Amino acid sequence: MGEGMNRPSQFLPSRSSLMGLGIFFVCTGGWLLAVFPALAATNYSSVARQSNQAMSQGLQSFQHGDFEQAVRAWAEAVRLYEAAGKPAEQSDGLDRLAEAYQALGRHPEALNSLQRALKLAEQTGDQARMAAILGSLGNAYFLGGAIDQAKDYLDRGLAKARKTGNTAVTAAILNTQGTLWSAEQRYPEAQVAFGESLHLAQQTGNHPLATKALSNEARVSLQTGDSAKTGALLEAAKAALGNATPSHFKAYALVDLGQLARRLHTRVPASPTRWRLWAYQAFKEAADIAEDLGDTRATSYALGYLGQIYEDERRNAEALDLTRRAAFAAQEIQAPESLYLWQWQTGRLLKAQGDVAGAIAAYRQAVHTLQFIRQDLSLAFRSSPVAFREAVGAVYLELADLLLQYSTGRPNQEQAYLHEAQETVELLKAAELQDYFQDECVSALQARIARIDRPPSGTAVIYPILLPDRTELLLSLSGGIKRFALPVGAERLTQEVRLFRRLLEKRTTREFLPHAQRLYQWLIGPMKAELTRQQIHTLVMVPAGALRTIPMAALHDGKRFLISLYALATTPGLTLTDLRPFKREEVQVLLNGLTEPVQGFSALPYVSVELEAIQQFYGGKLLENREFLIPRVKKELAQTPYSIVHFASHGQFSADPRKTFVLAFDRKLSMDRLEQFMGLSQFRDQPVELLTLSACQTAAGDDRAALGLAGVAVKAGARSALATLWLINDQATALLIGDFYRQLKEPSVSKARALQRAQLTLLNDQRYWHPGYWSPFLLIGNWL
């Protein structure tokens, strides 16, 4: 297989795999074949010759990794079975068709096929077939991130499989349950499920499923830090493969085991060569099997991960050869889910060789491929403990890093490279939000708004780009972009941010002040002279990572808070901000609030003061306490083109968007439902101008929850939002909110300036001078 396939001669610390095949192998990669290993030998003599050929062709294509051809063949078989009036065979065909759809990441089609299969199985009354299909449905829902539905189908399938004594199906469902518990970090339950799955698979001689159970338990042991057990399980999994006939399954199993061994290598410093060599041998055997079978998809993965081994060894030329062969194979079968990995790897290797221009080209290709598949990838990561940003965010950031470095010393091209770096970060921010909310709200907004290349005069947009060795600050002005480099890496900056946020919520001390001043020196100090020269009055922050969890208003220059110097706003990205000006004529307001304690939450007595103040300025419809019911909110938003929607109630932003809500009197109003209600309006072409959530909170240190807060306006379909990072004094909130709306009545006052004035009023009140009272209010989105 060429010089690059020789055994590596040295073993250096490896790069951890960011998105490996593990998710694919654990959850798809042959669910039915693992349950019924003898499927290939099934006798279809009672079925028409065409059906027999279609089923066999589909199975052969699937085993060779040609999932598109498998879909075509099995769809034809299903059609023939239906025409022949054979519901049992049609149900089996639909189950296998779903398997191929899942392998391609086409989850809606997989679910549709399985629901059809279940109905047919119910018609025949075949309990064993029903159990298997219920298990397949649980697996499919898990892959799609619908955890509650997955649990329901898996529980039903497992109960039916145990009742009918179907050991094979029981073992397979237990394996899927184990992966679900693992994704929820319920590791003891996962280990029990994998253990029982292994025992049953060994009882029935199902070696593929036994291998899966062993490798999955090894993954759990690795996650819990038990390196010795991980190694023993890897050896047992490889032994379970034994002398199995070369197949698509065996090739993928070896690739998966090789990835686990490569990760284990980083955990066992006392054995610097063993597990990397083990991984190398697994990848090489997988590559040999895949090439002999003509399985181009498995060949691509095996060669690509072999390239990583050589990259770890810094044998870049050999690594590059393997990586390019892997990329060619992925292109040949149109497999973007692996292609971006090899384009990314190519970029890293070219950079290591000093070919920065070539590296930039490769990274651009990787980002382009990711944009094409980002929705499918986001869906895959919903059933994984690995976050989307952790898995693929580095591709965007590493490209931005290269572009920033390449811009140095090229004055004629500098602005072009800086703009591209900024646009690359924008792509990442949009991908993060889409991953968080799991819907098309991001794409819908981007399709609706006009692109803004430069901010209005008097406004500056700050893009912090957090890199391992430094923080880059891009200052976007009406005349172009200025670049400032800060010699503080992402880890150090995050530590400072975490400490600042924790101390800021302690409203009885000044302990926050040194950290407020340090963050000012880092984030604002380098550009202060430029801001003064440009006569900037409004700063818009496009925060990343931990910076989303703190209010910039509370930064301090040694004399004054930042809010005393500038009106401030935050936005998830300029391409996610609709900057049409706020039309102040005929403003219609919907006011919703709770003063009473409900559903275990405390009373908010000053909410009535807050709502009365707003109504004094704007009038509007008021839904308070027992009138603040979710059906009423839905009805109002459907019937009236409200330009301001105000919620004065408890709210919470969580790392899990399904747990993000605003409290109504009758129950919790989720962001999904709020989006649906606001979308019911026939006036959607003129979306809500301002959504206010005046008593929300996000946990300190929870960057993902803060991401949800940053994107709330996008999700709800509003141009801007006013919300709080943490719950503060009820009376202070009422004062600030009332003053904000009073200021907003003036047509010449922007939303950012209105919030600045309201915050300064509170700052100048001795009772509320501490930033813990006034700084957590963030204006998000359109600041005009």
> Rounded to a whole number, what is the distance in angstroms from the first to the last CA of the chain?
62
- CA 67 to CA 90: how far, in whole Å? 19
Nearest CA to 78 out of 27, 34, 112 is that of 112
- CA 631 to CA 646: how far, in whole Å? 16
C-beta separation of 181 from 216 below 8 A:
no
- CA 365 to CA 371: how far, in whole Å? 10
- What dihedral do alpha carbons 429, 430, 434, 437 form, nearest 10°? 60
Nearest CA to 603 out of 615, 593, 594 is that of 594
Residues of the chain with pLDDT under 70: 1-48, 270, 376-388, 440-453, 680-685
Q: Hey, which residues does 484 pair with through a beta bridge?
A: 473
Amino acid at site 110: A
Per-residue pLDDT tens digits for 659-707: 899 999 999 999 889 988 887 654 456 789 999 999 888 888 788 888 8
Chain-centroid distance, C-alpha 301: 23
Nearest CA to 219 out of 13, 27, 12, 15 is that of 27
Helix (H), strand (E), coil (C) string for 250-299: HHHHHHHHHHHHHHHHCCCCCCCCHHHHHHHHHHHHHHHHHHHHCCHHHH
Residue 580, helix vs strand vs coil:
coil
- CA 307 to CA 325: how far, in whole Å? 10
Q: Which two tokens stand for residue 201?
A: 């698979």
- CA 623 to CA 593: how far, in whole Å? 7
Residue 334 phi/psi, 5-degree rounding, is 55, 60
Per-residue pLDDT tens digits for 758-775: 999 999 999 999 999 999
Amino acid at site 93: G
- In this prediction, what percent of the chain has a pLDDT beyond 70? 89
- CA 639 to CA 647: how far, in whole Å? 18
Q: Hey, which residues does 380 pair with through a beta bridge?
A: none
Amino acid at site 381: F
Per-residue pLDDT tens digits for 484-515: 999 999 999 999 999 999 999 999 999 999 99
Q: 386: which DSSP letter?
A: S
Predicted confidence at residue 22, as pLDDT, reads 40
- CA 408 to CA 399: how far, in whole Å? 15
C-beta separation of 281 from 265 below 8 A:
no
C-beta separation of 222 from 267 below 8 A:
yes
Of all helices (H) and strands (E), which one includes residue 227?
Answer: helix 227-241
Amino acid at site 292: D
Predicted confidence at residue 436, as pLDDT, reads 82
Alpha helices (runs of H) in 147-206, residue ranges in sequence order:
147-164, 167-183, 187-203
C-beta separation of 759 from 774 below 8 A:
yes
Predicted confidence at residue 448, as pLDDT, reads 64
Per-residue pLDDT tens digits for 231-257: 999 999 999 988 788 888 899 999 999
C-beta separation of 184 from 172 below 8 A:
no
